Amino acid sequence: MTNKRLQAYHDVLHRKPNYVEFDKKTSDIFGENVFHAEIMREYLPREAYKSMMSAANSGARLDRRIADQIASAMKDWALTKGATHYTHWFQPLTGATAEKHDAFFTPVGPGRAIERFDGELLVQQEPDASSFPNGGIRNTFEARGYSAWDPSSPAFVIGKTLCVPTIFIAYTGEALDYKMPLLKALHAVDEAAADVCQYFDKNVKKVNATLGWEQEYFLVDKAYFNSRPDLQMSGRTLFGHASAKGQQLDDHYFGSIPERATEFMRDFELESIRLGIPVTTRHNEVAPNQFECAPMFEECNLANDHNLLLMDLLEKTARKHNFRVLLHEKPFAGVNGSGKHNNWSLSTDTGVNLLAPGKNPKSNLQFLTFFVNTLKAIHDHSDMLRACIAGAGNDHRLGANEAPPAIISAFIGSQLSELLDKIETDVKAGKMTPEDKTELKLNIGKIPQIMLDNTDRNRTSPFAFTGNKFEFRAVGSSANCASAMIVINTIMANQLIQFKKDVDARIKKGNSKDEAILKELQVLIKASKKIRFEGNGYGDEWVKAAEKRGLSNLRDTPRALQVWGDKKVEELFNEMGVLSPRELEARQEIEFESYVYKLQIEARVMGEMAQNTIIPAVVEYQNTLIANIQGLFNVLGDKMGKEASDAQIELLKRISVHMNKMKDSCDLMLTARKKANNIEDMEKKAVAYCDTVKIYFDEIRYHADKLEILIDDKVWPLPKFSEMLFTR
Ligand code: ADP
Ligand code: MG
């Protein structure tokens, strides 16, 4: 019998890198496949160009005639790039992106055809939406969903297709995607932040949220991937013993990138650059065969589109290079998982980063205002932050000594901690004397522009201030960043609106502007104190200390998702105009459902692999041992045969015990799964899967992994961690 695994090993060893020919400067190709502002200026009449720019920057409506002109220009440009089809590119709640391709080619008479793309086709389409998750919003009999153009994100060409970024909504107007609520949250924070900016600079008209993501992923050779049903079906290995050499030597981080992986990266980076994604850094991560890609930050909506595009490019390019990319948060138990840090800040149309300390007391007061308001927003809504990063995959990572814990807290560094403490004690309740004010101003003026303790950054914090932005580290590698960005920008908008009200009220009562701001900041600093944590977030002591502080520790996805059912959360989203109660409820339902499906698939695959892959291999080896033992008895006789086969008999027994236990746990899991499947209510079903089905995973795996190290390497049917992680 040929062993698929050994065949795969052979294939991998003989693979050569797939060289990418390229002789241009990277800067020459940057954005060449994007219909960006400069191209538009070239292709569009003046008036249409101006309308397009104001639609892109401030959401102004475009009339039909202009839309026709834009569509026609877009098409002409796309044809020069070799495009034959167009598609509305959108972000359904499945987590991936979706597209439905239509040809430009339109027959217009006998033997005559033109390439057609007009305003109507650009602005709206009606993809068959019945197969996308909708959480009950759209009954299948009214399976209509619309995709509508988002002019704030430029169209691009991939392969032979012009892709138009769009939102995706139900016939009844509710969002069925991530982009629409993200755009609304960005709008809310823009207005609220621009309002607060008026205290400091009347010229600010618009505030953009910025996002810089860092995407981690694993590469595995396609031959290994194809011989592991668990990787194929669930994106992670459900079985597999840790390899003798793991990441304990820490020799992979920033290590040299092996040639095949380098060629792969070169290829997908060139493609990304052509699509205007400003990828710059490339390095190895902590685990073997784990990598990271982090572009320059951009405006949040665009950055998020770029992340989704990049995830897609990673997949496609990996296949070309005989790799498969794993975006799962924890593909290999016992090996570092993958996250996607979301670096977030706010930046004005006057070019100021509102979370960067400035040169003087005035700009620093502005910085402090936004900084402290962020802390207060995080403090008040930490459960929402926890919920927005929840998912079956991320559950394996959070709190596993490599990723931040499920407890949300914020790290700000010693200098800022001291300053906040000073404001807390030094700002006087009544009228402040001129000396008090000068003293405070001096302190505020002293915040260094480049934060010194940038270097003593705390890597264990889920939400850390890193000098000129906050870094949300708990986001999972497979997530759509919009989930986190919707929450952060919405709670920030809400907080800033409240802040503006309270400061205005103080000014009305006779406080000077600066005094009013400082006094209000003092209130916020006091009220948000418990969210600040500078210590080790990975330690067990923190779990206890956090509980004492009253911080929640929602350890699993079903518990975390319950937050979306909270009345206050519903009101907040509704008031900020980001999600209606119906939309929020639908999203919660979809997430419970997705959690259940993922666990259901894992449970099934586990059962099947145990039964059809592992047990047969074990039996085969048992037979070899039995034949050997019988042979020894035959040849040597009872007494000597017994002595000579001691080790084999012992091994045979151990193998049988593990196999039986594995099988028993599989049976128990099956019973639990059947019971859970009968539960109608999605939330209860998710809880049942978490508490009664998932608990068998570790047990089953434990015995299977023991078998892996006990039986003959030649008959073990699944590629081992050592092979998948170390052979390239
Ligand atoms: P790390 O040490 O976490 O690997 P770096 O500090 O090098 O990361 O990376 C920071 C990330 O933050 C980069 O992706 C960068 O684009 C992003 N970033 C920098 N400034 C901002 C900002 N103002 N807003 C959002 N993201 C930012
Ligand atoms: Mg980072």
DSSP 476: B
Residue 406 Cα distances to 324, 388, 396, 400, angstroms:
29, 12, 11, 9
Residue 666 Cα distances to 5, 56, 692, angstroms:
24, 55, 13
Q: Do residue 193 and residue 156 come from a single domain? A: no
| Interatomic CA distance for residues 586 and 328, integer angstroms | 24
Task: Give residue 308 CA to ligand 1 midpoint distance, Å.
Answer: 18
- The answer to the question of residue 2 being in a domain is no
Q: Do residue 502 and residue 605 come from a single domain? A: no
| Cβ–ligand 1 contact at 468 (below 6 Å) | yes
Q: Do residue 571 and residue 426 come from a single domain? A: yes
How many domains, the chain?
3
Q: Do residue 485 and residue 597 come from a single domain? A: no
Q: Do residue 332 and residue 255 come from a single domain? A: yes
- The answer to the question of residue 5 being in a domain is no
| Cβ–ligand 1 contact at 306 (below 6 Å) | no
| Cβ–ligand 1 contact at 296 (below 6 Å) | yes
Q: Do residue 675 and residue 656 come from a single domain? A: yes
User: What's the CATH number where 132 sits?
Assistant: 3.10.20.70
Q: Which domain holds residue 170?
A: 31-177
Residue to mutate (ligand 1; options 214, 304, 307; most atoms within 8 A of CB): 214
| Cβ–ligand 1 contact at 467 (below 6 Å) | no
Query: Which region among 97-101, 349-353, 488-492, 635-639 has the lowest average model confidence (pLDDT)?
Result: 97-101
User: What's the CATH number where 670 sits?
Assistant: 1.20.120.1560
Q: Do residue 411 and residue 286 come from a single domain? A: yes
For residue 213, give the ligand 1 atom closest to its CA: 14
| Interatomic CA distance for residues 470 and 462, integer angstroms | 10
- The answer to the question of residue 511 being in a domain is yes
Predicted confidence (pLDDT) per residue in 664-723, tens digit: 999 999 999 999 999 999 999 999 999 999 999 999 999 999 999 999 999 999 999 988
At 570 the pLDDT is 98
Last residue of a domain, one of 153, 177, 201: 177
Predicted confidence (pLDDT) per residue in 63-108, tens digit: 889 999 999 999 999 999 999 999 999 998 877 788 878 888 888 8
- The answer to the question of residue 596 being in a domain is yes
Q: Do residue 274 and residue 412 come from a single domain? A: yes
Q: How many CB atoms lie within 10 A of CB 635?
A: 10
Predicted confidence (pLDDT) per residue in 212-268, tens digit: 999 999 999 999 999 999 999 999 999 999 877 655 555 554 456 688 888 999 999
For residue 353, give the ligand 1 atom closest to its CA: 23
With 70 as the cut, is the pLDDT of residue 138 above it? no
| Cβ–ligand 1 contact at 461 (below 6 Å) | no
Q: Do residue 609 and residue 563 come from a single domain? A: no
Q: Do residue 606 and residue 509 come from a single domain? A: no
Task: Give residue 343 CA to ligand 1 midpoint distance, Å.
Answer: 6
Last residue of a domain, one of 157, 177, 197: 177
Ligand 2 (single-atom ion) residues, CB below 5 Å: 214, 341
Last residue of a domain, one of 177, 196, 227: 177
- The answer to the question of residue 1 being in a domain is no
Residue nearest to atom 17 of ligand 1 (CA): 212
Question: CB of 152 within 8 A of CB of 183?
Answer: yes
| Cβ–ligand 1 contact at 3 (below 6 Å) | no
Q: Do residue 540 and residue 666 come from a single domain? A: no
| Cβ–ligand 1 contact at 345 (below 6 Å) | yes
User: What's the CATH number where 428 sits?
Assistant: 3.30.590.10
For residue 343, give the ligand 1 atom closest to its CA: 26
- The answer to the question of residue 677 being in a domain is yes
Q: Do residue 662 and residue 701 come from a single domain? A: yes
Three-state SS sequence of 175-202: ECECHHHHHHHHHHHHHHHHHHHCCCCC
- The answer to the question of residue 8 being in a domain is no
- The answer to the question of residue 535 being in a domain is yes
What is the pLDDT of the chain when averaged over all its residues? 90
The identity of residue 537, as a single letter, is G
| Cβ–ligand 1 contact at 254 (below 6 Å) | no
Task: Give residue 341 CA to ligand 2 midpoint distance, Å.
Answer: 5
Residue to mutate (ligand 1; options 338, 466, 469; most atoms within 8 A of CB): 469
